[in-house]
């Protein structure tokens, strides 16, 4: 089982079917905010939808050595998630996604959680490249790769469909020899 302590009171751990209620509740508390940026929010109508995602995507991805999808736990409560989209082993690359409850934003939790995931991906999985894509207007999300030393590669026009609209996606990357750029962010 994948589990990492990020900071006192903060850990990331592989999502399991038993976490479905907690994930659904956390997303539900911020549904109006999250649906502005994340396409899965409108498709997720119950804890059963989350459990099915964990069983059909998260668990097999982990078992097949294609990376973890984790909950972010703060003081024992699920507050968001950070995870790999399936690792491309031919190119030793993956992309990351993340979200956190709005009441937890601005506390460095996501930055630290992404840094912890990058430590794992570069130091243990020996990946070469990690990508983050964020909707251009989602300034808080775009601040994470900036803060962690990623290089902005450009903007993909109307590359994401969220709700009933297309959004431009800023694309950021970091390479194995560029990590870690800031020593104090290491976990």
* All domains in the chain, ordered by first residue: 3-185 (3.40.630.30)
Cα-Cα end-to-end distance for the chain: 19
Contact (CB, 8 A) for 162 and 38? yes
DSSP category for residue 182: S
pLDDT value at position 97? 97
Cα three-residue angle 21-11-47, rounded to 5 degrees: 10
Total-model pTM? 0.93
Nearest 5°: the CA angle 41, 31, 62 is 45
**Which pLDDT score, from 0 to 100, does residue 184 have?**
45
| Burial class (CB within 10 angstroms; exposed 0-12, middle 13-18, buried 19+) of 157 | exposed
Q: What is the pLDDT at residue 182?
A: 54
- Render each residue's pLDDT in the chain as its tens digit; 187 residues: 899 999 999 999 999 999 999 999 999 998 988 988 988 888 899 999 999 999 999 999 999 999 999 999 999 999 999 999 999 999 999 999 999 999 999 999 999 999 999 999 999 999 999 999 999 999 999 999 999 999 999 999 999 999 899 999 999 999 999 999 754 444 4
What is the Cα–Cα distance from 1 to 13, expressed in whole angstroms?
8
- pLDDT at position 39, please? 87
pLDDT at residue number 186: 46
Q: Distance between CA atoms of 185 and 111, rounded to whole angstroms? A: 8
């Amino acid at each position: 089982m994948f589990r990492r302590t990020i900071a006192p009171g903060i850990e990331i751990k592989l999502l399991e079917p038993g976490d479905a209620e907690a994930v659904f509740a956390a997303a539900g508390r911020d549904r109006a905010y999250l649906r502005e940026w994340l396409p899965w929010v409108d498709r997720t109508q119950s804890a059963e939808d989350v459990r099915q995602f964990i069983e059909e995507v998260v668990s097999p991805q982990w078992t097949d050595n294609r990376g973890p999808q984790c909950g972010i736990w703060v003081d024992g409560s699920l507050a968001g998630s950070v995870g790999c989209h399936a690792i491309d082993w031919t190119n030793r690359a993956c992309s990351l996604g993340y979200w956190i409850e709005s009441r937890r934003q601005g506390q460095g939790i996501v930055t630290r959680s992404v840094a912890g995931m990058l430590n794992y991906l570069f130091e243990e999985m020996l990946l070469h490249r990690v990508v983050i894509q964020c909707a251009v207007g989602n300034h808080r999300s775009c601040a994470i790769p900036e803060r962690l030393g990623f290089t902005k590669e450009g903007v993909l026009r109307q590359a994401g469909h969220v709700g009933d609209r297309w959004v431009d996606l800023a694309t950021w990357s970091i390479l194995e020899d560029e990590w870690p750029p800031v020593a104090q962010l290491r976990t």
